[in-house]
A and B are shown apart, each in its own frame.
Chain A
Amino acid sequence: MNDDIREKLSAYLDGALSDADRRAVEVEVDRSEELRRELEALRAVSAAVKGLPKEKLPDGFAARLESRRAREAAAPAREYFVLPPSYRPLALALSSAVVALVIWDRTVTRPDPVVPSGGWDSEKIAVKSAAEAPASIDVSGQLSSLSASAESAADEIAKKEDAGAAAGGAASTFGKKFNAPGKPLEVAEADASPSRARAGAAARRSARSPPPPPPPPRTRSKGPPRTARFSRAAKKSAPPSTSVCTRASRKRRSAWASPRSWTRTRRSRTCPPAGASS
């Protein structure tokens, strides 16, 4: 006996079937003893629930209702749980802003400080006090040496390009062999090796135009160096702390690197682990 017929039995009991469905159910019930018993069981359940007595209103119901109405009319109904409705947009905006801030802070990556291959030399970077800090750092010597090495690299590329032009016979044979008739050779070369073509073009550009003048050297002329200026000790009026990477600060920063606080982990990168300076 499937559920479709049994469901129809329930609706049949309520007189909620169409004429066709009602006749079909009657035919099925006549044919099946099981369906007949099922229909009787449903009828008994229905009669049992219908037999629940109607109750009279409890004594004093109307009076209690009136007093409750009066009470509720005197005190306006509090239909909110925590915040009144007028405050909800503000609360929503504030919570959204906090969530957005947290997401932004977690997703935006900040550049790591560049650590020399040998690690930091603590003797060189330690600043004993703000007063002893150098007024400026001249880096023009490093910049001009960088510029010179860039120029030599450009010359080398230009020489290779010239050598390639001298051996143009082989390259043109290559280009003609694999290129459609009438198609310019350079296109075939560019297709065959775009990176080499780009390198050649860059070299040609550098050969045509003189190298740009080196930028003015960066100096830090105002106040103490950054490390000392932003350290906790520098903020206090008392004599400044002795060093950026003291044993105590290393210990403190390694504690920050623990997984308890992800925000502090990033800061720990500014101080190398003990022993890296040697």
Chain B
Amino acid sequence: MTSIGSQQPVSEQDFLEQHSELVFNVALRLTGNRSDAEDLAQDALIRALRALPKFRGDSKLSTWVYTITVNTWKNRVRAEKSRGFWKTISFGAFGGDKDDDEPVYEPNGNDKPLDTDLEKEGTAAVVQKALLQLDADDRAIVVLREIEDRSYGEIGEVLGLAEGTVKSRLFRARAKLKTLLKVPS
């Protein structure tokens, strides 16, 4: 049983029951596939459980959990990028060694519309594919705003950004999604 600031004590069991699904869904939208999402969710929940006794209740527990989840994911993205960089350095000069396990969350810089067939893939898959084209912070902003319905202030708290920055980055991310999803304007 862990006392959380001025809030009611939360047992590990209660914490997991309340937050596991939330963490898994955020992880799913950030990573784009279920197996990576489960791995990320487990990692984030273990970290959260380890840090739960130190939680002082300065923010909402859900905000704190989002923060841990997003930071765990960003660390992985960074590690993947670094791994990709060293692979490029190692093999690029010797004719290239095509990477089989390319990270699914590698941001792609172009804004060309996705070449997808809506009927074959379904709207959800197309939207998910478009989300994966956003860079890490923008994707986290869109997920927290659109899927988790968090306020600009809370998103800023999770990502360590100013509210104005969240606003402008959300606008940019939406504009990019509009292009990727071929939404006419």
B108-148 vs A, Cβ < 8 Å mask (1 yes, 0 no):
00000000000000011001100100000000001001110
Given A37-B185, A61-B38, A65-B16, A49 contacting B127 (CB threshold 8 A): yes
B83 beta carbon closer than 8 Å to chain A = no
**Size of chain B's interface in residues, with CB distance under 8 A?**
37
A65 to B38, CA, bound (A): 9
Chain A residues with CB below 8 A from B181, complex form: 45, 48
Asked whether A50 lies within 8 Å of B24 as measured between CB atoms, the reply is: no
Asked whether A57 lies within 8 Å of B146 as measured between CB atoms, the reply is: no
Q: How far in angstroms is the closest Cβ of chain A from B18?
A: 12
B3-43 vs A, Cβ < 8 Å mask (1 yes, 0 no):
00000000000001000110011001100001000100110
Chain B residues with CB below 8 A from A57, complex form: 20-21, 24
Known: A10-B174, A48-B183, A65-B20. 12 other contacts (CB 8 A): A7-B167, A10-B170, A11-B152, A11-B167, A14-B152, A16-B167, A38-B185, A41-B184, A50-B147, A52-B128, A54-B25, A65-B46
13 A-B residue pairs with Cβ-Cβ distance under 8 Å, sorted by A, are A6-B175, A14-B145, A48-B181, A52-B29, A53-B124, A54-B21, A54-B25, A55-B24, A56-B21, A61-B42, A64-B38, A65-B45, A68-B46
Tell me the B residues contacting A by CB distance below 8 Å: 16, 20-21, 24-25, 28-29, 34, 38, 41-42, 45-46, 49, 123-124, 127-128, 131, 142, 145-147, 151-152, 167-168, 170-171, 174-175, 177-178, 181, 183-185
